[in-house]
Amino acid sequence: MNEPFELIPAIDLKGGKCVRLQEGDAGRATEYGDDPVAMALHWQSQGARRLHLVDLDGAFSGHPVHLEIARAILRSIRIPVQYGGGVRSVAHVDELMEVGAARVILGTVAVEHPEVVEASVRRHGSDAIIVGIDARDGEAAVRGWVGRSGMRAVELGRRVADIGITRIVYTDVSRDGMLRGVNIAETERMARETSLKVIASGGVAGPEDVRKLSDRREVGIEGVILGRALYEGRLSLPEALRAVGLPG
């Protein structure tokens, strides 16, 4: 693949603050700052080419909660932002696109109301709409990772590909925020068996995880979301960029 491997810092919002959850558990949140705009500017200054913004309160409530923070971030930075969390309708997607999100991530609704995903792709194009597939033991999780869908994650990948999705974020929930390393085997399986472009998420512990994922670009893994490892200094963004051959 000719496109550079993407390293995407995450800002997860809960109560208006920057946090990271462990295994998707809202009761196991660590705060990393109370100024999301400053955090976004920091990652931009460190070399980020895209930002991953997640409204955790929205994911649990079922509707976007932190639109004002999203607006403030989008006004303040130059790099594109992908936004997810509680996006359950075409109207939600429209609102996020109007405030300036480059990509909108649909999760629960892809399982419960795939027609919303299909309509959003028709309205905004496949580059603008991503599905977030969050897996526990191979099964797609829903509603802020607390619900079980009864559907295998790979099967969900195939279904959304059939309705026009070309890119997903794939998260192994059991590894998210745990610094245990990425579930590379399942991430690669998702890419191979669905032919989707896959952004990996969950468990990055250091530059070796980033290199291993980058080495699998040929199967369709095109990037990785970086969270706790960045916030706790296990990995610097310039270091991660250099690990995949980009200036950092």
Question: Where does the pLDDT of residue 22 fall: very low under 50, low under 70, confident under 90, or very high at 90 and above?
Answer: low
Burial of 18 (0-12, 13-18, 19+ CB in 10 A): buried
Q: Which helix (H) or strand (E) holds 205?
A: none
Q: What is the pLDDT of residue 177?
A: 52
Q: Rounded to an integer, what distance in angstroms lies between the CA atom of residue 171 and that of residue 232?
A: 20
Question: Where does the pLDDT of residue 77 fall: very low under 50, low under 70, confident under 90, or very high at 90 and above?
Answer: very high
Query: Quick check: helix, strand or coil at residue 150?
Result: strand
Residues with a known catalytic role: 12, 134
User: In terms of DSSP bridges, do strands 167-172 and 147-152 run parallel, antiparallel, or are they unpaired?
Assistant: unpaired
The whole-number average pLDDT for the span 50-62 is 91
Q: What is the pLDDT of residue 31?
A: 85
Q: Rounded to an integer, what distance in angstroms lies between the CA atom of residue 191 and that of residue 197?
A: 6
Question: Where does the pLDDT of residue 1 fall: very low under 50, low under 70, confident under 90, or very high at 90 and above?
Answer: very low
The whole-number average pLDDT for the span 141-153 is 66
Which percentage of the chain shows pLDDT scores above 90? 71
Q: What is the pLDDT of residue 20?
A: 75
Examine the pLDDT at 143 and tell me if it is beyond 70.
Answer: no
Which percentage of the chain shows pLDDT scores above 70? 92
* Backbone torsions φ then ψ of 163, nearest 5 degrees: -105, 15
The whole-number average pLDDT for the span 207-236 is 94
Contacts of 242 (CB under 8 A, 6+ apart): 248
The whole-number average pLDDT for the span 30-44 is 93
- Class assignment of domain 6-243? alpha beta
Q: Which two tokens stand for residue 235?
A: 């990995």
- Asked if 99 contacts 71 with a C-beta cutoff of 8 angstroms, the reply is yes
The whole-number average pLDDT for the span 194-202 is 95
Render pLDDT for 116-142 as a digit per residue (tens, 0 to 9): 999 999 999 999 999 999 888 888 887
Q: Rounded to an integer, what distance in angstroms lies between the CA atom of residue 198 and that of residue 224?
A: 9
**Where do the domains of the chain lie?**
6-243
Examine the pLDDT at 17 and tell me if it is beyond 80.
Answer: yes
Q: What is the pLDDT of residue 161?
A: 97
Please give the model's pTM, rounded to 2 decimal places.
0.92
Query: Quick check: helix, strand or coil at residue 66?
Result: coil
Distances (CA, A) of 54 to 29, 61, 148, 195, 219: 14, 13, 20, 25, 26
Query: Quick check: helix, strand or coil at residue 213?
Result: helix
Q: What is the pLDDT of residue 100?
A: 96
* Cβ-based neighbour number of residue 210 at 10 Å: 26
| DSSP letter string, 28-60 | EEEEEES-HHHHHHHHHHTT-S-EEEEEHHHHH
The whole-number average pLDDT for the span 74-82 is 98
Q: Which two tokens stand for residue 143?
A: 């509603």
Q: What is the pLDDT of residue 82?
A: 98
